[in-house]
Chains A and B, each alone.
Chain A
Amino acid sequence: MDEPLLRIVDVWKSYEDLQVLKGVSFELAERDVKVIFGPSGSGKSTLLRCINMLNPPDSGEIYLRGDNITAPNVDLNAIRTRIGMVFQHFNLFAHLKAIDNVSIGLRRVKGLEKQEARRKALEALNRVRLAEWADHYPAQLSGGQQQRVGIARALAMEPDVILFDEPTSALDPELIGEVLQAMLDIAKAGTTMVVVTHEMGFARAVASEMIFLDDGVVIERGTPEHFSVSPKSKRVKRFLNQLDVLYGSHEKLLKLSEEEEGK
């Protein structure tokens, strides 16, 4: 079958007067990891929210294994069980323990028995190395642990694809590593993923393709090597340079501030 797992065709979306997405298209094959990056306000999060129809697009089509999920009479709840989502601010269910956070979807949506759901949930927690924290409430977990529970919650539903909406940007630097590690693990295990992130290290390790989004338009796409060696457009170069200054060597930052002072 030639049909890709996920096919996004010319998606447009606006919030009132603000045109956020201006015709975005891409395809995602099985076991692909796609990294979307770009400056804030470029429509990355909106794109993800369009894909799982939390905010349906104004126009354009999205196909999941050949099913048009933007068609009017589609059962969106059934579609969403096939698309996992990991949120920037975790959004764990505050009144439930970690294990119940993971198993509630299995029980209420997939209708599994309690024991079976618990077993599967533990399995998912184990994949993000949190099995021993199963009986803690979200508020008792660190940010990194909470985000891993969020990942386990998406994993447990066994979706076709998992969408990550800036999973590490609300975290302390110390906690980012454990979340990225968990994401690396499940990416290597063959999970199809769309990741909005600025973690270039993660992108280089697993991304099959990267997309640079700015102002609702795909500016450039290519492999991680392409972006690290020879990005074409000026906009991308500038953005990557800034990222490099932020995450990379502090000499560059010093140089930059000296230049500022020189002016």
Chain B
Amino acid sequence: MLFQTELEFIGMGIVNSIIIFPISIYIMRWYSKKKDMPHIQLWDTSLKTAYKVSLVWLMVNILIGILFNTFAKNITIYFLIQYYVYMIIDLFIGTIVVKSIYKKELGESFMFVFIIQVILFGIGLIIGFITVLLLGYIFPEVSDVFFFVLEFGLFFTLLITASSLLIGFAIGISLAIMRVYGGKELHWLSSGYEKLFRGIPLLVLIFIFAFGFPGLFWYLESLDRLLASVIMALGLRSGAYQSQIFRGAILSVNPGQMEAARSVGMNKIQAFRHVVLPQALRLAVPGWSNEYAVVIKDSSFASAIGTFEMTFIAYIWGLRSVELFTLSMGVVAVLYFLFTFPVTRLFGERQTKKLKKLGMGGG
């Protein structure tokens, strides 16, 4: 059988979404600009929509991946068809979500986006197959370790990263609000939290949650307990750093914005919610994408307690002999790079450009 587990499909779908889509979309954008189409506006908005759809798609994919991981026990040859079916269902869900979030009339661009997505997914899959075959033929060892790591590690690395970032976001933004608007006690509390978690090494935090308090996640299975404690440690620490990002972002919103909001009769909460926060979040994106890069790389610390993720898988692979160790660590290094650099570049630089266009932020 070509595919052994469902994770391979999911990994492929994720790789598809992350790598193939942005590249193809950039190519199409470049093409439409080069041809100087009169309806470039439509193209541009469609491409933007395609972006958003594929992002939502990616998230839904991860969710469905978790569900499959939990419930799918029997893997059959029809899996490929199933996978296509649920990709298309994802696509619909994604489009509807985007439609409701952005409240945009997709209308004419919907079919365009839909067709792009389906075609690109097909192309991506074919390219994927060819790459896999070529890679397997030319560098069998590299290909082996690459797919071994993708298959068993990528999902957990992404899961750890996404969950910790979410926890960190919730903590960070509340701490930042406390620090900027709160009284003396709240200020003291939040800066105390920051100093505490910035002063403890991550590995120590992970050990504390995993082994120091073994009963902390009593309702989970033992392996999941380790995973949860890693997420907890990373999330709590990320919260400390994210609070700095958001504090800076809130403070760099011009105080005149708050005054103007108050002058039209908003109360302090409304002014914060509708005027200051949206701008602060936009200003925080470049810093936040950096934090993402830090967290995804630091998720490798989870290997220290034997949680499955990319580094641990590569480590196991390499244990078989010294030569393989160089190879497996090299491959995993490349994988981490692929998941950090394009994302920080995309979010950091694009957002900085966008902010400049809005006249927000310095520099």
Contacts and interface: CB of A to CB of B under 8 A. Distances in A.
A138 B270 CA distance: 21
A104 B274 contact: yes
A52 B279 contact: no
Given A104-B274, A139-B358, A139-B359, A94 B264 contact: no
Given A87-B259, A139-B357, A93 B266 contact: no
B264 A80 contact: yes
B223 to A, nearest CB: 44
A83 to B, nearest CB: 8
Contact of B254 (A54, A83, A91, A139): A91
A198 to B, nearest CB: 21
Contacts of A108: 266, 270, 274
B256 to A, nearest CB: 4
A52 B358 contact: no
Interface residues of A, number: 27
B262 A93 contact: no
A177 B180 CA distance: 40
A78 B265 contact: yes
Contacts of B282: 95
Contacts of A139: 357-360
Interface residues on B, range: 20 to 34
Interface in A58-109: 77-78, 80-81, 83-85, 87, 89, 91-95, 104-105, 108-109
Interface in B253-297: 254, 256-257, 259-267, 270, 274-275, 278-279, 282
B257 A91 contact: yes
Contacts of B265: 77-78, 80-81, 105, 109, 157
A93 B263 contact: no
B274 A54 contact: no
Contact of B264 (A81, A89, A95, A140): A81
Nearest to B253: A94
Contact of A89 (B256, B270, B274): B256
A108 B273 CA distance: 10
A52 B261 CA distance: 13
Given A52-B263, A80-B265, A153-B264, A93 B275 contact: yes
A137 interface: yes
Query: Which of B260, B267, B360 neighbours the largest number of chain A CB atoms within 10 Å of its CB?
Result: B260
A95 B360 contact: yes
Contact of A137 (B259, B270, B358): B358
Nearest to A150: B260
B263 A85 contact: yes
Given A95-B282, A138-B359, A157 B260 contact: no
Interface string A197-211: 000000000000000
A109 B270 contact: yes
A94 B266 contact: no
Contacts of A91: 254, 256-257, 259-260
Interface of B: 254, 256-257, 259-267, 270, 274-275, 278-279, 282, 357-360
Sort A-B residue pairs by CB-CB distance and give the 7 closest, nearest first.
A139-B359, A81-B265, A105-B264, A91-B260, A91-B256, A85-B263, A109-B265
Given A108-B266, A140-B357, 5 more contacts: A77-B262, A87-B263, A95-B278, A104-B275, A105-B265
